[in-house]
Each structure stands twice: as structure tokens, then as C-alpha cells.
Structure 1
Amino acid sequence: MRLVAGLTAAALSGLAAAAGQQQDAEVYMLQSSWQASSETPSIPKEVARHIFLQRTSRQRYGSDLRDIPSSIDTEVAVDQLARFGKNPTPLFTHADKTDASQLVVIIEGAAAEQSNRLKEKLGQKAAFTISDPPSSTANNHLMALFRNMGVASSHQCDISAMVNPFDTDCWTGPSSVVKYDLRASPKTVDSLLDNFSRLDKFVADGDLDVMLVVLPESSRSSKLSHWSAAAAGTGSDLRRRRDAEMVISDQDNTQAKTTSAPTNAPAAAPGGDGGSAARRTKPVPQCFRSLDSCMTGTDSCSGHGECVDKYGRGNSSGSEAAASCFACVCKASVVEREGAPTKGRKTVQWGGSMCQKEDISVQFWMIAGFSIVIVGAVSFAISLLFGVGEETLPGVIGAGVSRSK
């Protein structure tokens, strides 16, 4: 009986160890220029975190890997970041015109059956795996970092809206990060599969690049509470580097951000409200899918224009069209001059994506053209004077003034 009991206990402990074994997280790449490799590398969580930051950063991310532990080869980490990260934007090129929108979707608590369904629908194997996916607490810290960077939205959007990069309600810029917990939202996988055709169309057209991070259910019980070794506090040197570089910090500094927000907030423009000034600091899409979204997103073109369909295929009722591209068309406005010496009216031209900037190109070219003409006239007059002075006198005048012998 003791032998049977011992064998039973050993078998149960083996099953418990197998059930509690940490599984790797799978990361899939969906973009038009992506070519899957025959090998699926395993990447540490610190390097994977830098890949997420590099793909979604709205500034030029410097790939500062100072928080990478010494056990990870830096050259290998740089190669992985260059392979799976976003290609750098060419100089003197607007990112919204050349780059696709970047979306990182984090699915937390995926079971084996759900992971297999996603793999079958995608029709490809994972681009890379994360060998040590951290816990739910670490995922919350990571999302707090993205929110502090202005990438992740403060409200949860449905997956059907997130796959549309032209949805101005959920997209506030060229990149976005969203996390879905399958324990709280069990139908997320079904919704993703139902909207896969729309997602694939945006990817094929080059409008969207997606990185799908599937975290297994076993990662909830992980002892790793941060994605970054520096945020976990492993070593005083890493803590000093973390304090010196805010972008690689993984701690939730929400209170500090809230305290410094009034100092860094842009001041309201004279004659306008603070809400309009705050909205103008956000990137404005090049195209809106409907007239209503254009009027809302541009504050009615700042009162200096109107929203029209650039391609002429939309309607004026405010409903969406399949190929509509609503944008602001600026109009001139007549204002009263201030001050006694300059009383009267003047016409002001407006420009910008929201018609929020005064167009002074006419005044500039008038001043520049007048200056060029004046400089040319003065130079021509001086050259004529030098030419007259260099001419020789006629012979008759020379004979009349010569001395007689």
C-alpha cells in the first residue's frame, strides 16, 4: 500500500508540475512587407518590450538597451530589434504619408484551444516567442507606460474598431496599443476572427501593421512583475539608468505625470477656448471617413473653412462612404483692423490641416519680390555709373585742351 501511495503521489506531483509549467508567449506579425522565416527565435521579455516601444513610439526611438541584463548579448538584441522593429522614417518625410499605422494587440490568458484557432486563421507560425512572459501585474505596468507616452487610449475599444486605423474615436495618432483579458472579455478571440477579413484588407493595402501578442494562461501566475529588469530593481546601476532615461522606465508614474501636467500643458490660444488648443496638439488624420467625424475632429475646421470630400465620392449627409476622404478646405475671412492709424478691414488667408494657421505666403512673396527688384535696380544703376566712368573721351575734346607748342 505504501508503494502504491508513493507512486500515486509522484504521478500527481508530476501532473501538477506539467500543468503549472510556464508556456511561451507567441507573437505574430501582420504587415504587407513581412516575410516569415523558417526559424522562430525565442526572445527575452526585455528585448520584446523594446520592440513594442520601437514600433509604437511617435518619436524617433533611440533603441537604448541599457536596461538589458548582462546575461543577454547586446548585439543579438540589436539584430532582433532591427528585424522585428519598425523601419526608420526617411529624413524630411512626414510619417503619416509614408508609414502604415502601427497596432500592438496584447491578448492575455489565452488557452491552448484559442491559440490554435488564431494560428489556423492567421495561416502562419509565430514570428518569435517570448520565453519568459511576465504576470498580469507586469502587463498592467506596461500599459501604464504606453498611456504615459500617449500611445494607449484611456478607454477600452472593441476589436472591430481597433482594426480600422481611420476610426478617430479609438485612434488618436499613427500608433496604438490595446490589451484584452480573455477572463474579462472571453469573446475577444471570436470578434478578432470575425473581423479578420477587414484586418487583412487594411494590412494588404499598406494602411496598417499589426503585432499580435498572445500570452498564455500560465503567465498569470508568473513571479515576474515587470517587463523590464530595471523596473524590477535588479541592481543599483540599472536603477540609475532607469532614472536617467524615462522612456525605458516600466513603473507607473501616473502621479508624477499628473503633477507636472499643468506645467507642460499648452496654453490656450488668444480668443479661443482651452479645449480647442488641447485638441490641436494631437495629430490630425489626412482623411476622415465621414463628414461628421471631420467636423468633430477638426473643430469645424477651426471656424475658417469647411469639410469636403477630396475625391468627390462622398455625400453631404454625414454618412460614411466606401472611398470617402473628407478634409478641410480653408476659406478667407475678413476682419476689422485694430488701432486708429490702420482702421478698416483686411482679408486673412488660412492654412493647415485644421485651417488653424494664418497663411502669410502672399505677404512673404511680396516683400521678397520687392526686395529682389530693389536690389537688382540698385545694382544695375551702379553698373551703369561704372560703365560711363570707364569710357574714353572723344578725340576732339582732347585736341581742344592740348598745349600749343
Structure 2
Amino acid sequence: MKFVVTVTALLTALGACVAENRSPDDVAVYELNSRASDRIPTVSGEDALMYLADKLDISDQFSVGSDSTFGDFISSKAPLRSKQEKPDMVVVINGANNLFDTPSFKVADKDGHFHRSVARHLFRKKATGGSASELTSEIRVVAPSVKSSSLVDHFRLFDDRLVGLWQHYTGHRQAVLGGVSGISDRLFVNELSQLVHLDEVAADNQTTVFMTLVSLSSVGRKAGFDSHSYNTACSVVSDLLTSLAQKYDVVVVAVPENHLQKAVDKHMQKRNLELATVFKRTSGSSSCFTSQEACEAGTSKCSGHGKCIESGKECWSCGCSPTKKDGKTTIWAGFDCSKKDISAQAHILLWTGLVLIVTVGAGIKLLAGIGSETLPGVLDAATLKKSQQ
């Protein structure tokens, strides 16, 4: 049973991955809807798992050893919890060396058992009392029933929407996001778009969301964990999680980069290959959606500048149509008909210029030819007679 408290406060996220003192083997746990404590305890993985199980109302499916300090730990944390009823969200983030200002507690997790158990065992135990669904490879939900979860329908065709979601998000927030649109890491684009999409819909209070993210690890390895790109990625992720805390009771399990990377490496390689196929299929000139519905979802109905047409077997793509406004015709291009086709105007100017050049050249040549020709006999004789006089 959950402990209900009288104080609610949102933990403030910093704008970057700030410095924090902790052992390389410690995992930081942030409760974004609980009040921060002056004391940050470090507990065993067993006690931490039991604490999270209690938050998710499944503590009766777990047990602790006789030497456990769980009783003292939960007694110290209970008064800090939120009293608001919200759906639960548990997010495991790999490569998050430091993500928010102050963790609720730290976990001595040298063997990685704790954070693996959060991602697997907590989900399985929670699923025994409800209906489990996989929204994406990163998000799973447990709800009283599939029909009762608004998230299931919301994430239908997500792969088809992915590129469009990313472009819309970065395009409308460029001034705020700074260099985030320059981060081309597929894992980051995918996971950030999922957080954005998740923030667009409300879930039932009986729903529990489990997420596992690895893109910060990917960005950090490519750009460096002290780079602007990595700090920007951290900032955007922390801001989105803080926003989600308005709708969910969010717990973030931040796993440092040096923690059991072999399993993460294998997952990242597999997911990168999957996403490469998704990006190729749903963006660029060779985009090919599997149905008209998927095409319309992935292109926002061709941005209103065309319609989805069947271009092959199980292949739908946008057929762009020109629009006319104030007597000016605009030709559209791109996989979603969202870009103005300046190449058409360039072709018109090019060919018009070539025609003018050819015409002028032909005129000059004609005049030159006329000037060099001999006069007809009658005119030539008259000219000769006049010159002799």
C-alpha cells in the first residue's frame, strides 16, 4: 500500500548534467514529485527495490532480509512523498552520470542487479495485476485493461510518426533548444520524440509506465561526456521529464556510464539497426509507408499540400500538389510535402535565361551575317556608278 503524505513539491531539474559526488558504482534515484531531503542516504539494492515496489503497490510480492534497514529507510522517505494521485512512471536512464540537482537517494549497485530489476522484475510483478502492453521498444505500460489505456492508441503507428514528431518539435523550439537539432543520433531522436509524444496525452491514474532509455550514453560516447551536445541532451531530457511530472508520479533511475556497458552496447547496436530501417522507410525521397493511414499519420496528411497515394505494393507516399495564393503558385516537395520546391523556380529561371541567351546570340549572328553578304546585282551596280561620279 502506498504511503500518503501531506507535502507535495516538484524537484527542480537543472539545465545540464551537473557535477555530483557519488561512487562510480552508485545509481542515483530521483523522485520528481517528492520534496527533497537534506540527507541523501545510500541504500542497498534490495531496500531500494522494496521501496519502489511499495510506491507501485506491489510490495506484497517482495520480501527483505532480516538484516535489512528498509523500515528505517521508508520511514524517512514517507513524509516527503506527494499526496496527489497520479499514474506512476518509472524511467531507467543509462549514461546519465548526473541529471538533476539532488537525488532522493543513492543505491549501491555494483553488480547492476538493482537497475536491471527495476526494468524487468518490477514490470513483471506489476503486470500480474493488470494488462501489459509494449508501446515501443523503450516503453511498456500496465493498465487495468488494454482498452482503458489511452496510451495504447496514442502510440499506435509511432514509428511512422517519428520523423515528423522530431521535425515539428525541433522546428518550433529551435531558439530554446539551441543545438539539439544538430544532434543526429538516431537513438536520441527516437527517445526524445517518445517523451514528447508521451507528454501530449493524459493517462488513467491506474496506469503505470516503465521506460528504459540509452540515448544519453550514445550521445556521450560520440560527442564526449563533457561536450556541449551531451549537456544539451541532458538538459532537454530533464526538462521533458520535469514536464511529465505534471501528469505522472515520476521516478528516475539514473545509471552512470561506466555501469555494465556490455548489455547496453548490445541493445544500442540492435536498436540502431531497427531505427535505420524506420528512418529510411519514413523520410527522404524514397519514403514508403505500409498503408494510407500510416502515411497520413507520418506526414500529417502530407502537410495539407497533397495526398497519400499508393506507389507500389504496400507502399504509400505523398503526392504533392501546387498551391496558389494571391496569384502566386507554390510548388511543394519533401517526403511530407512540407518544403517549398525552389528547384522548380530555379529550372524556370535557368531555361528562360538559356532561351534569352540563345535568342540574343542568334540575333547577333543574323545581323553579322547580313552585314557581310554582297549586295544584289542591281543595287551593287547603282552603288558602283554613284561612287564613280
By the TM > 0.5 criterion, same fold?
Answer: no
Q: TM-score, normalized by length of structure 1?
A: 0.29
Normalising to structure 2: TM-score of the pair? Answer: 0.30
Q: Which has the higher contact order (CA 8 A, sep 6+)?
A: 2
Structure number with the higher helix fraction is: 2
